[in-house]
Amino acid sequence: MRSSGRPDTSPARALTRLRVIAKGLLFILSLTLIGYLFDQSDLGSAINEGWIDSHVRGQGQTGVVLFLLMGGLFTAVGLPRQIIAFLAGYAFGLLPGTLLGALATLIGCALSFGYARLVGRQLLQGRLGPHAVRLDRFIHANPFGMTLLIRLLPVGSNILTNLAAGISSARATPFLVASLLGYLPQSLVFALVGSGITVAPALRMALAVLLFLLSGALGAWLYHRYRHGLSLDARIDAALGEKP
């Protein structure tokens, strides 16, 4: 059969295009709506010690669930996970705060990962495509171990990693489990700062700084030891003093 040279206008192809367009429009609309809600309702400054005192502390399981939901939502849209860990320490104490801060961050990680994979994949590919390709190469041989390494690094963007992983071929389970474990060290550090445990504030801060430095040094050493010539990001390499 001879080809007519005309574009494929079959109903199936048209439906596929409509689905892609609809997903793109939904992605843009949802981002716009999220931004509008944050601007109009001042949600960006809603989570603070006063909010914790009013809605979380002393509220039992309801307070825990509310904290996890709000912490997950805020980290999903880019709030630094260290702030959530600090507030978790303030609300629940050192050890429970460490775990709950990490869990809230994991919820945010899963939300942004799933959002990118299910809704924003086509549009994000143009913005984050190169980063997703590098991430794919970096974690391909050992998804769990290399994701854990990434989370231990003292530099890098949590939300960009989540989004890039979402549009990459990374499998969700090892990525999320390794992320949870990798969140724990910094969660411990900032929960310690927020917890107000009964030691002198200066000593508490000094201990937090020491733990932060140890965690960062471990991440940097693991990156140097196991990257095997691969690069996660040129800026990360520069920050850690790694050669390209």
Residue ranges covered by each domain of the chain: 47-239
d(CA 223, CA 138): 11
Supply the DSSP string of 8-54, one letter for each residue. Answer: ---HHHHHHHHHHHHHHHHHHHHHHHHHHHHHHHTGGGT-SHHHHHH
pLDDT at 180: 96
pLDDT at 177: 96
Tell me what the mean pLDDT of segment 128-139 comes to: 77
Name the percent of the chain lying above pLDDT 70: 68
Contact 122, 23 (CB under 8 A): yes
Confidence of residue 208 (pLDDT cuts 50, 70, 90): confident
Over the stretch 67-123, which tens digit does the pLDDT of each residue have?
Answer: 999 999 999 988 888 888 888 998 899 899 999 999 999 999 999 999 888 887 777
Q: What is the pTM of this model?
A: 0.74
pLDDT at 197: 61
d(CA 37, CA 57): 26
pLDDT at 18: 60
Q: Which of 123, 148, 56 is nearest to 93 (CA)?
A: 56
